[in-house]
Amino acid sequence: MKQFSYIKIAQSIYQEFIQNKLKPGDVLPTEHFLIEYYKVSRTTLRNSIQQLIKENIVYSIQGSGTFVKAQRKDFKITQLDNFFEYAQQVGGIPTTKVSIFEIIPAPLEVAQLLHIEEKIPVYHTKRLRLLDEEPIVFEIGYMPVYLFPDLSFEVMSKSKYDYIEKQKQMIIKNSHIHFSPIILDEEIADLLNTVPNMPAVCIKTQSFLNDGTLFEYTEAIRNPQKYDIMIETYRLKNQL
């Protein structure tokens, strides 16, 4: 086989993807195999892989290999949409799997985040949100029991925002959001149907009612192979 430039090798691997011989999540053949297959140097092959990474076609995880990227979507943070509303916007079918629904005394850190006293009873929940049966986000949440004494497993399996706004007749006003970089451990990677040791973002959110009551604290990890986070901002200078 004649010598390939690194661009031609990158194009060849991309064509394998286009022709569905390589699917999202597949690991590329080993470096040794590709060097022998294309009859090139290690440097040339690595330049080819770097080109594919730049084009967002593959990604590499040290110690695990190089993987084909799934088609990614933007998760836009501009307003307080719930997961079911987001699913309607993108035309998907949402489902929720609740793995933990329990009442616990608020640990000090959680109490501080909820602006309540330590050991006040709170709901502790863990949920996996899926879109068209694909895992999208893993969420850990805390809510004061005294605000929602009739909150149930069934509610958390559907839409808690619908429960709060329609059943409890409360008005959700705003949220404070913080972003923290993390490395996915094996447990969360398995839940999100991705690979461990991948960089991801943990979205930490404190949500408030119209009267200023802090009603919820959540930590959500979105599947980094499926979504980019897009923040839309506005310049309000002319309105001041």
DSSP string over 88-132? HHHT--EEEEEEEEEEEEPPHHHHHHHTS-TT-EEEEEEEEEEET
Percent of residues, the chain, with pLDDT higher than 90 = 43
- The residue among 133 and 186 whose pLDDT is bigger is 186
Under 8 Å CB-to-CB from 164, ≥6 apart: which residues? 148, 170, 172, 215
CATH number belonging to the domain at 73-231, selected among 3.40.50.10490, 3.40.50.1970, 3.40.1410.10, 2.40.30.20: 3.40.1410.10
Instruction: Determine contact, residues 163/155, Cβ cutoff 8 Å.
Output: yes
Residues 6+ away with beta carbon under 8 Å from 86: 75, 94
User: Across residues 27-32, what is the average pLDDT?
Assistant: 88
Domain positions in the chain are 6-68, 73-231
β-strands 121-131, 134-144 pairing: antiparallel
Of 96, 204, 77, which Cα lies nearest the Cα of 140?
204
Is pLDDT at 115 greater than 90 in this prediction?
A: yes
- pLDDT confidence band for 2 (50 / 70 / 90): very low
Question: Who has greater pLDDT, 59 or 120?
Answer: 120
Query: Which amino acid is located at 181 in the chain?
Result: P
CB contact at 8 A, 104 and 124 = yes
Task: Name the pLDDT band for 213 (thresholds 50, 70, 90).
Answer: very high
- From 126-130, 156-160, 195-199, the region with the lowest mean pLDDT: 195-199
pLDDT exceeds cutoff 50 at 223: yes
8 or 31: whose pLDDT is higher?
31
pLDDT band for position 139 (50/70/90)? very high
pLDDT at residue 91 in the model: 63
**36-72 confidence digits (pLDDT tens):** 888 888 898 888 888 888 777 788 887 888 888 766 5
Per CATH, the architecture of 6-68 is what? Answer: Orthogonal Bundle (1.10)
Tens-digit pLDDT profile for residues 150-193: 999 999 998 898 999 999 999 999 999 999 999 999 999 999 98
Tell me if 9 sits within 8 A of 57, measured CB to CB: no
